[in-house]
Amino acid sequence: MNKKKNFNHFQKTLILLGIIITLAFNSKGGKTDLNSRKINFNSGWSFHLNDSIKDKDTINSTTTWRTLNLPHDWSIEGKFDEKSPAGYGGGALNGGLGWYKKTFKVATANKTKTTSIIFDGVYRNSEVWINGHYLGKRPNGYIGFQYDLSPYLNYGDKDNEIIVKVDNSKQPNSRWYSGSGIFRNVWLQTTDKLHVEQWGTYITTPKVTVKSASVHLETTIKNQYTASKSATILTTIFKNDIKVTSVTQNISIAANANQVLNQDILVNNPVLWSIEKPELYTAVTIISINNKIVDEYKTTFGIRNFKFDVNKGFILNGKQVKIKGVCMHHDLGPLGSAINTRAIERQLEILKGMGVNGIRTSHNPPAPELLNLCDKMGFIVMDEAFDMWKKAKTKYDYSLNWDKWHAKDLQDQILRDRNHPSIFMWSIGNEIPEQWSDEGVVIAKELSAIVKKLDTTRLVTAAMNPAVNMNIDAVTLQFEKSKTYFNSLATSGALDIIGYNYAHQTFEYHQKNFPNVPFIATETTSALETRGYYEFPSDTIKVWPVRWDLPFTTGNPNNTVSAFDQVRAPWGSTHEATWKVIKKYDFLAGMYIWTGFDYIGEPTPYEWPSISSYFGIVDLAGFPKDVYYMYQSEWTDKTVLHIFPHWNWKVGQNVDVWAYYNNADEVELFLNGKSVGVRSKKEDDLHVMWRIPFQAGTLKAVSRKNGKTVLETEIKTAEAPALLKLTADRNTINADGNDLSFVTVDILDANGVLSPNANNEISFSLKGNGKIVGVCSGDPVSHESYKGTKHTALNGKCLVVIQSGNKAEKLELTASANDLKSSKTVITTK
Ligand code: GAL
């Protein structure tokens, strides 16, 4: 708040200096040179995976090391093992204990500064030493943290050594594949002793109209000098690097103290952040002492207003928006849990293509890069903190750290994430065992209070199963309304929005059950599919396991699951069933489907040889399953006509053909030129179906509106597999040692038709300054390494991921397989 004050001479001088600095700033043509305080500290680390028998959890002069760049996940390099202590839930990949170390120099000029190391996330139980001094331990694997190295550093020519011990040996500690190691980015930060505190800005937009937005900036300034300091704080708001407005203030801050500064700025004609146009602003905070800039801190934010309405659902900038979200775990398929910005961006692009507008970071704080991308690409994020509180879900999980760490971890998550315009809800927990008890209510209130102290602009929820129990029989979907009883958290008053996991049959009664609290389906569906595998008849719904107290077994060869939308977990629904309900009622703000992508671990069927999930709308390699197009037809403006399955069956066999379509009244299907009927969706149908005896040839579908053709599509019977085709998602990538090209391999017959049953083993080789960093077919039962150079295709498709080196050049990728014509593609790195 800008209160009117009487300024003394000294303060006036400082204000003048501030103005001079502002002018100097603007004289750079309205642009700023944003010096980052932190540099990437990922390269040149040494790694040792502990051998518990030989090493006894220690390192010494005989320890052998290999060099690598971070982020790094050592578990993904291991072998799938039926007996792994991580269990199938953990992807049957081992945890263990790993050591990292890095040697570096710090310039003498930095002796007067503060040098810190920032870890965005280390899974888990990290302990850090600098030059033999112990800096601390952080059990939570998903939270960012930092240490001040300055007191222990050597400056000039003398080396510094940082050592990180990562202990993920106690297994199981997760219900899904976690990965192990320093799996997120590491930064070295150098600041003046007077600087903006880490995560030290909080930007809100209390009033937003078309004409103007009031922007409130709360900035925490840290003074590590042993004397008090007077400084000028200039905050400038930029839009696309062009200055919008600025505010200057002078402060005097005591020695070794923090001071919170409040500033208000008016932005005229604000460009609002929305899903369609995620417009971002940047606030640059400059601290100057005696006209000398000592610190520069950049915060990205957005201007938008929103509310969750009990009748109208989610309203963003005055417009009703249905949340069409998906839950995502953090692994990146074949890349494991080592984060890579391009890999996350590709996942989001694929999801956006289906019409997804929301992401739930299940069930932990995500990599900061995910949130940056959601800000830029326009997603409605539910940022989730925990999968358990005090009560364990697996033997060695975070419940063991709960008492000591939960308040700090939650606080740090909110501080880190609260400027992201894409975040609209905080989830304080997923399916928490205490959710039915008074103990749970006490914890929920404590957590909600921690969040509210740091951010009152968003809603607090919890993912409850279910929020209201209406005694539904999971198999028959029958329920007795008379026996309604409520989840303790839902009625605790600690939640601003009621979060439902599953129980879509209860959604329509939400307003009756919770008249004054808005609705969100925190998690839905849990339908199962193997990409490209089909069973008939397609219109019988299968529940796997048949009851949830029975083994999770399919009885199918290779644990395959039909890709018609006909198989679901007992607690879930088909894709269509939940969407039909959410679509119908305005007060249902939206849903987050379990899951957008398949992930490693938690296979359902929960039995060997399955090691990755079947829930994804997109498989582990990034190839859409058919239901992707149901959502695309419902959620996007794109005109869709998708028919499936493939067209290679036994002659005379009855085959069900489904079509997902939109923007048309009807679809006519032709087999080898002969019509087999016209179908149109009735009432709330989301697909149409034909049942026809198979005959090899061409199946063609034509969608029509008012008698006019809208789209045509066809699928053909494939002959014997003959050749490989490579298609890179990007043929030019950055030569930065980090960027990725995702190359799809299709197995085709001699006529160029995809061979839908081809499961050939494909070998890859790469010439040039780059690396093959991942191979994957999306097959949940494959035990081939994702880190190898060969892989067996699943139903005609495989993926290979290429990473650039630091030298700009052309990379040549070759794919070959026995009896098939090989294929090459060139990826240019620049
Ligand atoms: C939910 C849970 C998720 C996942 C899912 C599988 O109950 O929140 O983490 O386990 O079930 O259907």
Helix (H, G, I), strand (E, B) or coil at 110: helix
Residue 12 CB neighbour total at 10 angstroms: 11
Pair 821, 765: CB distance under 8 Å: no
* Entry pTM: 0.94
| Confidence at residue 478, expressed as pLDDT on a 0 to 100 scale | 56
Query: Alpha-carbon distance 124 to 516, whole Å?
Result: 40
Asked whether 430 lines ligand 1 (CB < 6 A), one says: yes
Residue 456 CB neighbour total at 10 angstroms: 10
Sort 756 into a burial class: Cβ within 10 Å, 0-12 / 13-18 / 19+: buried
Q: Do the strands 654-661 and 708-716 form a parallel or antiparallel pair, or are they unpaired? A: unpaired
Mean pLDDT of 557-585: 94
Pair 614, 780: CB distance under 8 Å: yes
Chain segment 681-718, per-residue pLDDT in tens = 999 999 999 999 999 999 999 999 999 999 999 999 99
Closest CA to 781 of 765, 773, 792: 792
Helix, strand, coil shares of the chain as percentages rounded to 5?
15, 40, 45
Which tokens hold the place of 594?
A: 């379990």
| Confidence at residue 482, expressed as pLDDT on a 0 to 100 scale | 54
Ligand 1 pocket: which of 526, 600, 604, 612 to mutate (most atoms within 8 A of CB): 526
Mean pLDDT of 250-270: 97
Q: Phi, psi at residue 595, to the nearest 5°? A: -135, 170
Cβ contacts of 241 within 8 Å, gap of 6 or more: 30, 31, 32
CA of 504 from ligand 1 middle (Å) equals 15
Protein residue with least CA distance to atom 11, ligand 1: 526
Taking 70 as the threshold, does the pLDDT of residue 546 lie above it?
no
Protein residue with least CA distance to atom 3, ligand 1: 594
Please name the residue that has the structure tokens 């992707």: 628
Please name the residue that has the structure tokens 């971890």: 409
Active site residue 714: no
Asked whether 431 lines ligand 1 (CB < 6 A), one says: yes
Crossing angle for the helix pair 627-635 and 575-584, to the nearest 10 degrees: 10
Residue 552 CB neighbour total at 10 angstroms: 18
Asked whether 295 lines ligand 1 (CB < 6 A), one says: no
How far does the chain reach from its first CA to its final CA, in angstroms?
48
Closest CA to 99 of 13, 162, 31: 162
- Mean pLDDT over each residue of the chain, to the nearest integer: 93
Asked whether 565 lines ligand 1 (CB < 6 A), one says: no
| Confidence at residue 480, expressed as pLDDT on a 0 to 100 scale | 55
More confident residue, 556 or 538: 538
CA of 431 from ligand 1 middle (Å) equals 8
> Where is 346: in which H helix or E strand?
helix 341-354
Q: 602's torsion region: left (phi>0), alpha (psi -120 to 50) or beta?
A: left
CA of 17 from ligand 1 middle (Å) equals 57
Please name the residue that has the structure tokens 């990922």: 42
CA 429 to chain centre: 17
Helix (H, G, I), strand (E, B) or coil at 508: helix
Q: 48's torsion region: left (phi>0), alpha (psi -120 to 50) or beta?
A: beta
Mean pLDDT of 215-231: 98
Query: Alpha-carbon distance 122 to 182, whole Å?
Result: 4
CATH of 721-829, one of 3.40.50.720, 3.30.200.20, 2.60.40.10, 3.20.20.70: 2.60.40.10
Q: What is the band of 66 on the pLDDT scale with cuts at 50, 70, 90?
A: very high
Helix (H, G, I), strand (E, B) or coil at 244: strand
Which tokens hold the place of 205?
A: 């937009």
Q: What is the band of 52 on the pLDDT scale with cuts at 50, 70, 90?
A: confident
CA of 394 from ligand 1 middle (Å) equals 14
Residue 118 CB neighbour total at 10 angstroms: 17
Residue 678, CA distances (Å) to 90, 193, 296, 621, 673 in order: 47, 74, 65, 35, 14
CA of 526 from ligand 1 middle (Å) equals 8
Mean pLDDT of 165-193: 98
CA of 333 from ligand 1 middle (Å) equals 18
Query: Alpha-carbon distance 195 to 688, whole Å?
Result: 62
Asked whether 474 lines ligand 1 (CB < 6 A), one says: no
Which tokens hold the place of 133?
A: 């001094």
Q: What is the 3-state secondary structure (H, E, C) of 548-576?
A: CCCCCCCCCHHHCCCCCCCEECCCCCCHH
Query: Alpha-carbon distance 798 to 775, whole Å?
Result: 7
Each domain of the chain, given as residue ranges in start order, spans: 38-191, 310-528+568-598, 641-716, 721-829
Query: Alpha-carbon distance 119 to 600, whole Å?
Result: 24
Please name the residue that has the structure tokens 């400082």: 14
Chain segment 279-322, per-residue pLDDT in tens = 999 999 999 999 999 999 999 999 999 999 999 999 999 999 99
Pair 714, 641: CB distance under 8 Å: no
Pair 779, 333: CB distance under 8 Å: no
Residue 454, CA distances (Å) to 103, 458, 460, 508 in order: 37, 10, 12, 34
Asked whether 523 lines ligand 1 (CB < 6 A), one says: yes
Please tell me the total number of residues recorded for the chain in this structure: 830
**In CATH terms, are 641-716 and 721-829 the same topology?**
yes
Helix (H, G, I), strand (E, B) or coil at 607: coil
State the Cα angle at 158 between 157 and 159, rounded to 5°. Answer: 115
| Farthest CA pair distance, the chain | 96
Asked whether 526 lines ligand 1 (CB < 6 A), one says: yes
Q: Phi, psi at residue 583, to the nearest 5°? A: -65, -35
Q: 369's torsion region: left (phi>0), alpha (psi -120 to 50) or beta?
A: alpha
Helix (H, G, I), strand (E, B) or coil at 780: coil
| Confidence at residue 6, expressed as pLDDT on a 0 to 100 scale | 38
| CA-CA-CA-CA torsion sign (668, 672, 676, 682) | negative
CA of 539 from ligand 1 middle (Å) equals 25
Q: What is the band of 32 on the pLDDT scale with cuts at 50, 70, 90?
A: very low
DSSP bridge pairs for 463: 430, 499
Sort 654 into a burial class: Cβ within 10 Å, 0-12 / 13-18 / 19+: exposed
Q: Phi, psi at residue 753, to the nearest 5°? A: -90, 135
Q: What is the band of 44 on the pLDDT scale with cuts at 50, 70, 90?
A: very high
Superfamily the domain 38-191 falls into: Galactose-binding domain-like (2.60.120.260)
Asked whether 668 lines ligand 1 (CB < 6 A), one says: no
Taking 50 as the threshold, does the pLDDT of residue 674 lie above it?
yes
| Confidence at residue 468, expressed as pLDDT on a 0 to 100 scale | 85
Mean pLDDT of 798-804: 98
Taking 70 as the threshold, does the pLDDT of residue 723 lie above it?
yes
Residue 63 CB neighbour total at 10 angstroms: 14
Residue 180 CB neighbour total at 10 angstroms: 32
Q: Do the strands 459-464 and 498-501 form a parallel or antiparallel pair, or are they unpaired? A: parallel
Pair 74, 80: CB distance under 8 Å: no
Active site residue 712: no
Q: What is the band of 658 on the pLDDT scale with cuts at 50, 70, 90?
A: very high
* Per annotation, catalytic residue among 523, 529, 576, 668: 523
* Per annotation, catalytic residue among 296, 369, 384, 431: 431
Please name the residue that has the structure tokens 């009896």: 819
Asked whether 462 lines ligand 1 (CB < 6 A), one says: no
CA of 463 from ligand 1 middle (Å) equals 10
Q: What is the number of the ligand 1 atom nearest to the C-alpha of 572?
A: 12
Cβ contacts of 782 within 8 Å, gap of 6 or more: 611, 791, 792, 794
Q: Do the strands 519-525 and 498-501 form a parallel or antiparallel pair, or are they unpaired? A: parallel
**Amino acid symbol at 236:** T
Q: Phi, psi at residue 717, to the nearest 5°? A: -70, 130
CA of 517 from ligand 1 middle (Å) equals 24
Helix (H, G, I), strand (E, B) or coil at 265: strand
Burial 784-794 (b: 16+ CB within 10 A, else e): ebbeeebbbbb
Q: What is the number of the ligand 1 atom nearest to the C-alpha of 430?
A: 8
Closest CA to 217 of 266, 256, 269: 266
CA of 552 from ligand 1 middle (Å) equals 14
Ligand 1 pocket: which of 431, 487, 548, 578 to mutate (most atoms within 8 A of CB): 431
Superfamily the domain 310-528+568-598 falls into: Glycosidases (3.20.20.80)
Residue 815, CA distances (Å) to 408, 517, 793 in order: 49, 56, 12
> Where is 289: in which H helix or E strand?
strand 281-289
Q: How many CA atoms lie within 13 A of 247 on its CB side?
A: 18
**Amino acid symbol at 74:** W
More confident residue, 5 or 44: 44
Lowest mean pLDDT among 11-20, 320-329, 644-653, 815-824: 11-20
Q: What is the number of the ligand 1 atom nearest to the C-alpha of 465?
A: 7
Q: Do the strands 423-430 and 66-68 form a parallel or antiparallel pair, or are they unpaired? A: unpaired
Closest CA to 716 of 677, 745, 748, 758: 748
Helix (H, G, I), strand (E, B) or coil at 71: coil
Mean pLDDT of 514-530: 97
Mean pLDDT of 199-224: 97
Asked whether 598 lines ligand 1 (CB < 6 A), one says: no
Which tokens hold the place of 116?
A: 């810190």
CATH of 641-716, one of 2.40.50.140, 3.40.630.10, 3.40.50.300, 2.60.40.10: 2.60.40.10
| Confidence at residue 30, expressed as pLDDT on a 0 to 100 scale | 32
Mean pLDDT of 474-496: 75
